[in-house]
Structure 1
Amino acid sequence: YNINVPWDCFGVGDEENLCLFRSVLLPVARMFDPDLVIISAGFDAAAGDPLGQMNIYPLGYHQLLACLLPLARGRIVLALEGGYNLDSIAHSAEACLAALMGEPYGGEGSVSDPEVLARFSTVMEDVRAALRPLWPMAFPPAPDLPKPPQPIEPTKVEAGA
């Protein structure tokens, strides 16, 4: 099976991809219960790639792949396919190898853009609605969507408290 997600904007990052992955793609994959998972590992969506113009950091790729490890009893194959920034490809592939070996991966993730988040919820619901007739049991209630960081209000500490 193949599920395409029609991102309608540039700059989609780690948090958006992981949320969509966990709430749409993984439920379908679990129901399908594959014997083997083959991943077309193109890194066009990596931060810094001039063609993809997305914002997936190596840590984001690590997190996505780590979610797949329970499928097919860990029988996962990655075939390197693309990406146009050699540094992004190298770091993203390194993060994927760490995930396959069950090792943690350090580094920072992307920060969500409020404009992208606004479009994200629409894309996610459209994809879920399109797939629901085909996989009605695959979809738990919609997850809480990531929200942009809010400023922290200072608190007042009273003397003697």
Structure 2
Amino acid sequence: MAYEYNPEFVLVCAGFDAAEGDRIGWGKLSACAYSQMTHMLLSLANGRVLEVLEGGYCLSQLNVCGSACVATLLGDSPVRCSEDAAKYPQDLVSLPTIRIIKNIHRPFWSSLFSIPVQDESTIDQLAESLEQKAMIKN
């Protein structure tokens, strides 16, 4: 969608509430994730990207994540993610939520074309399985 919109400038409210360890956002994003997202944004608007700090309450993560973003904006390679970072299970509502959002926006963005699948229940089954695992842990 961002490429299709083709902005002249990208302004980011860079909140780090979703950083690992933030007790308000309860997210699990690492400095690597923020650095990678910043790197992806630099491919838009001929690299004209401004990130403005607007949140994040875990000072140690704010320092690490903010520094990773600034370094990426200044031209350093994005922080490499460890293999363990990719092993986090998807949140039980993430996949169905993404599908719903794409369906809502699809009429307005040609980049959100639909790929026919024989059985869309796989995502729902995954969500149910993750929900059951979450109940067992709690």
Normalising by structure 2, what TM-score? 0.74
Query: Structure with the greater relative contact order (CA < 8 A, sep ≥ 6): 1 or 2?
Result: 1
Which residue number in structure 1 is paired with residue 94 of structure 2?
Answer: 120
- Given that 2:33 and 2:81 are in contact with CA atoms closer than 8 Å, whether structure 1 keeps it comes out as no
- Please give the secondary structure, in 1, of the residue aligned with 2:103: helix
Structure 1 vs Structure 2 CA RMSD = 2.1
Number of matched pairs: 114
Cα–Cα, structure 1 residues 119 and 51, in superposed 2: closer, same or farther, change >3 Å?
same
- Please give the secondary structure, in 2, of the residue aligned with 1:38: strand
Identity of paired residues, percent? 30
Structure (1 or 2) with the greater helix fraction: 2
Q: Which runs of 5+ in 1 are unaligned?
A: 1-27, 148-161
1:37-48, aligned counterparts within 5 Å?
Answer: 37-48=10-21
- Please give the secondary structure, in 1, of the residue aligned with 2:98: helix
Cα–Cα, structure 1 residues 141 and 91, in superposed 2: closer, same or farther, change >3 Å?
farther
- Given that 1:55 and 1:110 are in contact with CA atoms closer than 8 Å, whether structure 2 keeps it comes out as no
- Please give the secondary structure, in 2, of the residue aligned with 1:41: strand
Q: Among residues 59, 70, 74, which one is paired with 1:97 in the alignment?
A: 70
Q: Which runs of 5+ in 2 are unaligned?
A: 116-122, 127-138
Which residue number in structure 2 is paired with residue 81 of structure 1?
Answer: 54
Which residue number in structure 1 is paired with residue 44 of structure 2?
Answer: 71
- Given that 1:40 and 1:80 are in contact with CA atoms closer than 8 Å, whether structure 2 keeps it comes out as yes
- Please give the secondary structure, in 1, of the residue aligned with 2:18: coil
Cα distance in 2, alignment partners of residues 93 and 133 from structure 1: 36
**1:123 counterpart letter in structure 2:** T
Q: Does residue 129 in structure 1 map to residue 97 in structure 2?
A: no
Cα distance in 1, alignment partners of residues 30 and 13 from structure 2: 17
Q: Does residue 29 in structure 1 map to residue 10 in structure 2?
A: no
Normalising by structure 1, what TM-score? 0.64
1:54-65, aligned counterparts within 5 Å?
Answer: 54-65=27-38
Cα distance in 1, alignment partners of residues 87 and 32 from structure 2: 12
